[in-house]
C-alpha cells in the first residue's frame, strides 16, 4: 500500500514515524515542507527534512524534539566566537548534516537527490521528498514587520502576531516529478497533523501540488493538529486566531474542505464531528496525541483502517 | 620593529608565536603558505593558516600539534556516516573555522580578508597574510603518482617518496598587495624553520614574492628546520634526500643561498657554520628547538638580536 504523507514540523514527522513503524507493508513517501529552509553560516539548512531524517534514522533528541541526541556544541561556540549569530542552535553532528547537504547542492545535485542520498546513508527506507527543489521561503508578515520563518519561529519565539503569510518563490517554484508521481500513484494521501499555515500551507502553495492532489485517485485524509483548541506544539492555534480562522479542529477542517474526504479529529474533539461532516467530509474521532512510538504506530494503523471504512464523500475513494 | 615571517607548518608557526610573545615592540606579519589548502566536505580548509590562528589565539591542541584543544568529533562521525572521507580528522570547533572561512569566501571576500576577520575575532594581534588569494595548490609527484598535498601528508602519512613538487596555479597566482607591502616595509624578514619544499617553497614560488624579497631593504634571515640531519617534525629530511639535496642544515642553507644574508643553525649543527658561510651567508648557531613558550620567545629574541650583529653579507641589512 502506497501512502503519501504531507508533513512538516513535529506532528507530521511523528506520524511519518508511525507509518514507518507499521508492520503492514506500507510504502511510505513523505512530501516535506521546505518553506522553513534558510541559509545559516553559509550553509543550506532544511529543518523539516532534518527532523524527518533524524526521527526516521533514530537519531532525534526526543526530549527536545529537534536535533541529534547527545550532540555536542563545540562548533556552535566557535561560530559565535567568529561573530556568527547564535540564536539558531546547531549541534555538531547536526552541522555535519548542513555541511553535507550544502556540499551536494553546490555540486549541482537537487535537494531531492541530496536528501535521498543522506536518507540512504542513515539507513532510512522511507522516501523523503522535498516539496520543491526550487528556492521557496515562507515569510511572515507580523506586527513586527516581515520575518523569515526561522526568525519568527526560533529567534522571536513565535511571539509576533502573524497577519499574513507569503510564500517567496511561489511564482516560480514547481514540485519535482517525484512529488507529482508520489501523489498520483498513492493509494492513500495523508495531510499530517502539522501547522496548516506554515507546514502544510507551503506544500499546497507550490504551484501544481493542489491540482495533483485533487486529480489523484487516492483516498485523502487530513489529521487535525489542533486538539481541544490548542496546538500540541507551536503557534498553530494562535495563527488560526490571528489569521481570522476559528482556533479549533473545525477551523482546520474548513481550511481543508474540498481537498480531503476524511478529517481525523482527536477524540477530545468528537463533539465537532457533525460540524466537520457538514463541510462535506467524513469525520473520524480517534486518539491523535503521539507521545511514544506506540501512539505513533497506532495512529498510522488507525488511519490506514479508515481508508476501508465507509465514506460519505466520493473523493474518499 | 617590523618583522615579516614566512611560515607554514609546525616550526614556522611556533616561531611566529615566539615573536608574538616578545616584550619588545615587534609588529609581526606572517606570510602563510596556502599550498596545503584543499577542499574538504565542500569547505575550504587552510591548514597552515588554521595552525597560526589556533596557536596565536591560544586554542591549539599542543599535544597533537594541530586542531583545537578539547575539541569534539561529533560532526566527523556524522560526516563519515554520510559516506564522506574520514582520513582528515576535523574536530567540531575546527569545522566551524572551515565553515566560517568558506562562508566569507563564497560571499566574495578574499582569503586575506577572511583570515583578518577571523584572527580579529580570536583576539589575535599578529597580521596573518595568505601568500596569495588566488587558487594555488602544492602537488607532489611520488612513487605512487601525483598526490595533493594533504593526500600525501595526512592520508598517506608522508610515506611515498617525493620525486618532484608542482605548484598548481603558479602560472597565474599573484601575491596580494598586503604581502608585497609587508615584504617591502619590513625591518627584518625571517624564513621560519619550516619545510623548505612544501611550506616555504610554495610561498617563494608565488610569482613576484622572490623578487620582492630580493628588492626589500630588510635584513633577511632563514632558520634551519633541520637539526642534526633530522626534521623535528614532518618529512623535510627525507624530501631533501629524495629531491637530491644533502639532508642537513647545510642542504637547506644551499637552497636559500642568495636569498638571505644570515642562516640560523641549531647549536647542534655549529660545525656546519663555515660551510654555510662559504655560501655567502653569515651563519649563527643557537638553540632552535622550540618545546615550550620560553623556547619560542628566546629564539625570536635571539633572531632580533642577530639583526644588529656584524654581518658578512651586504644583503643582511
pLDDT score at B316: 44
- Among all residues of chain A, which has the CA nearest to that of B82? A121
Q: Which residues of B164-202 are buried (b: 16+ CB within 10 A; e: fewer)?
A: ebebbbbeebebbebbbebbeebbbbbbbbbbbbbbbbb
In a domain, B153, yes or no: no
pLDDT score at A189: 98
Terminal Cα distance for chain A, rounded: 14
In a domain, A144, yes or no: no
**Which residues, including other chains, have CB under 8 Å from residue A159's CB and lie 6 or more apart?**
none
With a cut of 70, say whether residue A315 has pLDDT above it: no
**Which residues, including other chains, have CB under 8 Å from residue A150's CB and lie 6 or more apart?**
A36, A38, A45, A47, A88
Best B40, B41, B42 residue to mutate vs chain A (most A CBs within 10 Å): B42
B79–A contact, CB cutoff 8 A: yes
CA B127/CA B199 separation, integer angstroms: 18
Q: Which cell numbers in the block locate residue B297?
A: 620567545
In a domain, B175, yes or no: yes
Q: What's the structural domain count of chain B?
A: 1
Q: Which residues of B38-62 are buried (b: 16+ CB within 10 A; e: fewer)?
A: bebbbbbbbbbbbbbbbbbbebbee
CA A93/CA A77 separation, integer angstroms: 14
Best B81, B107, B120, B123 residue to mutate vs chain A (most A CBs within 10 Å): B81
Place of cell 483516498: A219
CA separation (Å) from A200 to A9, A10, B24, B297? Answer: 9, 12, 65, 63
Model confidence over B144-200: pLDDT tens digits? 999 999 999 899 999 999 999 999 999 999 999 999 999 999 999 999 999 999 999
Which residues of chain B neighbour A79 with C-beta distances below 8 Å?
96, 99-100
Cβ contact, residue pair B93, A99, below 8 Å: no
In a domain, A103, yes or no: no
Q: How confident is the model at residue B24 (pLDDT cuts 50, 70, 90)?
A: confident
Q: Which of A84, A97, A103 sits opposite B42 (nearest CB)?
A: A103
CA B264/CA B277 separation, integer angstroms: 11
Cβ contact, residue pair B93, A71, below 8 Å: no
B50–A contact, CB cutoff 8 A: no
Per DSSP, helices labelled H in A146-285 are 149-150, 177-184, 201-204, 209-215, 236-242, 249-256, 273-277
CA A124/CA A21 separation, integer angstroms: 12
Q: Which of A43, A72, A83 sits opposite B74 (nearest CB)?
A: A72
Helix (H) or strand (E) holding B191, with range, is strand B188-191
CA A89/CA A101 separation, integer angstroms: 18
Q: What CA dihedral angle connects A176, A180, A182 and A184, to 10 degrees? A: -170
In a domain, A105, yes or no: no
Q: Which cell numbers in the block locate residue A65?
A: 524534539
Paired strand residues for B264: B223, B284
Q: How confident is the model at residue A17 (pLDDT cuts 50, 70, 90)?
A: very high
Kindly state the percentage of chain B with pLDDT values over 90. Answer: 91
Cβ contact, residue pair B42, A121, below 8 Å: no
Cβ contact, residue pair A99, B99, below 8 Å: yes
pLDDT score at B311: 54
Model confidence over B51-79: pLDDT tens digits? 999 999 999 999 888 999 999 999 999 99
Cβ contact, residue pair B99, A42, below 8 Å: yes
Place of cell 569545522: B95
In a domain, B202, yes or no: yes
Kindly state the percentage of chain B with pLDDT values over 70. Answer: 97
Which residues of chain B neighbour A107 with C-beta distances below 8 Å?
42
- Among all residues of chain A, which has the CA nearest to that of B103? A42
CB B193 within 8 A of CB B223: yes
Which residues of chain B neighbour A41 with C-beta distances below 8 Å?
99-100, 103
Compute the C-alpha angle A127/A129/A131, nearest 5°. Answer: 155
Mean pLDDT computed over A223-230: 96
Which B residues in the span 81-120 are in contact with A, Cβ-Cβ below 8 Å? 81-84, 91-93, 95-97, 99-100, 102-104, 106-107, 117-118
Mean pLDDT computed over B225-254: 94
Cβ contact, residue pair A95, B95, below 8 Å: yes
| Structure-model confidence comparison of residues A311 and A83, the more confident one | A83
B101 CA to chain A: closest CA distance, Å?
A: 10
CA B115/CA B51 separation, integer angstroms: 12
Domain CATH number, residue B266: 3.40.50.10680
Handedness of CA B141, B143, B147, B153 (dihedral sign): negative
With a cut of 90, say whether residue A259 has pLDDT above it: yes
Model confidence over A137-146: pLDDT tens digits? 999 999 999 9
**Strands A219-223 and A188-191, sheet pairing:** parallel
Per DSSP, the three-state class of B66 is: coil
A93 CA to chain B: closest CA distance, Å?
A: 4
In a domain, B217, yes or no: yes
Mean pLDDT computed over B72-101: 97
Paired strand residues for B28: B3
CA A153/CA A165 separation, integer angstroms: 13
Which residues of chain B neighbour A67 with C-beta distances below 8 Å?
none
Q: What CA dihedral angle connects B114, B116, B117 and B118, to 10 degrees? A: 80
Q: How confident is the model at residue B317 (pLDDT cuts 50, 70, 90)?
A: very low
CA B247/CA A91 separation, integer angstroms: 47
pLDDT score at B238: 93
| Average pLDDT value over all residues in chain A | 94
Mean pLDDT computed over A284-310: 91
Best B96, B102, B117 residue to mutate vs chain A (most A CBs within 10 Å): B96
| Average pLDDT value over all residues in chain B | 94
In a domain, A157, yes or no: no
**Which residues, including other chains, have CB under 8 Å from residue B35's CB and lie 6 or more apart?**
B8, B136, B137, B138, B149, B167, B198, B201, B202, B203
Cβ contact, residue pair A121, B82, below 8 Å: yes
pLDDT score at A65: 86
- The per-type count for chain A, helices as H runs and strands as E runs, is 13, 14
A285 CA to chain B: closest CA distance, Å?
A: 41
Model confidence over B123-143: pLDDT tens digits? 999 999 999 999 999 999 999
- Among all residues of chain B, which has the CA nearest to that of A84? B100
Q: Which of B92, B106, B121 sits opposite A92 (nearest CB)?
A: B92
Cβ contact, residue pair A92, B82, below 8 Å: no
With a cut of 90, say whether residue A204 has pLDDT above it: yes
A228–B contact, CB cutoff 8 A: no
pLDDT score at A24: 77
Q: Residue A170 burial (CB < 10 Å; 0-12/13-18/19+)?
A: middle
Which residues of chain A neighbour B120 with C-beta distances below 8 Å?
none
- Among all residues of chain B, which has the CA nearest to that of A103? B42
Closest CA to B220 of B182, B241, B247, B191: B191
- What is the domain extent for residue A236? 2-36+127-137+170-307
Best A49, A78, A79 residue to mutate vs chain B (most B CBs within 10 Å): A78
With a cut of 60, say whether residue B312 has pLDDT above it: no
Mean pLDDT computed over A69-96: 97
Cβ contact, residue pair A107, B42, below 8 Å: yes
Which residues of chain B neighbour A117 with C-beta distances below 8 Å?
82-83
Cβ contact, residue pair B100, A93, below 8 Å: no
ipTM rounded to 2 decimals: 0.93
Amino acid at each position: 500500500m502506497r501512502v503519501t504523507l504531507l508533513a512538516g514540523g513535529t506532528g507530521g514527522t511523528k506520524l511519518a514515524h508511525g507509518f514507518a513503524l507499521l508492520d503492514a507493508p506500507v510504502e511510505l513517501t513523505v512530501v516535506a515542507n521546505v518553506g522553513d529552509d534558510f541559509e545559516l553560516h553559509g550553509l543550506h539548512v532544511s529543518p523539516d527534512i532534518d527532523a524527518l531524517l533524524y526521527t526516521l534514522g533514530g537519531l532525534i533528541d526526543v526530549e527536545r524534539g529537534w536535533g541529534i541526541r547527545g550532540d555536542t556544541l563545540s562548533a556552535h561556540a566557535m561560530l559565535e566566537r567568529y561573530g556568527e549569530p547564535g540564536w539558531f542552535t546547531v549541534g555538531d553532528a547536526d552541522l555535519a548534516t548542513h555541511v553535507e547537504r550544502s556540499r551536494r547542492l553546490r555540486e549541482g545535485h537537487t535537494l531531492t537527490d541530496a536528501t535521498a542520498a543522506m536518507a540512504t546513508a542513515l539507513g532510512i527506507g522511507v522516501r523523503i521528498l522535498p516539496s520543491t527543489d526550487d528556492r521557496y521561503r515562507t515569510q511572515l508578515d507580523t506586527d513586527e514587520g516581515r520575518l523569515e520563518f526561522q526568525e519568527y519561529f526560533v529567534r522571536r519565539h513565535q511571539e509576533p502576531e502573524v497577519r499574513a503569510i507569503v510564500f517567496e518563490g511561489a511564482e516560480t517554484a514547481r514540485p519535482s516529478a517525484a512529488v507529482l508521481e508520489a501523489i498520483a500513484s498513492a493509494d492513500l494521501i495523508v495531510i499530517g497533523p502539522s501547522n496548516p499555515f506554515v507546514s502544510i500551507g507551503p506544500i499546497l502553495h507550490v504551484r501544481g501540488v493542489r491540482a495533483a492532489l485533487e486529480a489523484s485517485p487516492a483516498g485523502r485524509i487530513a489529521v487535525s493538529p489542533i486538539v481541544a483548541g490548542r496546538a500540541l506544539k507551536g503557534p498553530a492555534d494562535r495563527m488560526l486566531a490571528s489569521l481570522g480562522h476559528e482556533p479549533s479542529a473545525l477551523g482546520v477542517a474548513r481550511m481543508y474542505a474540498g481537498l480531503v474526504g476524511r478529517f481525523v479529529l482527536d477524540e477530545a474533539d468528537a463533539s465537532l464531528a457533525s460540524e466537520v461532516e457538514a463541510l462535506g467530509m467524513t469525520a473520524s474521532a480517534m486518539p491523535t496525541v503521539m507521545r511514544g512510538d506506540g501512539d505513533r504506530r497506532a495512529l498510522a494503523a488507525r488511519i490506514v483502517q479508515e481508508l476501508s471504512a465507509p465514506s460519505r464523500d466520493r473523493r474518499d475513494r
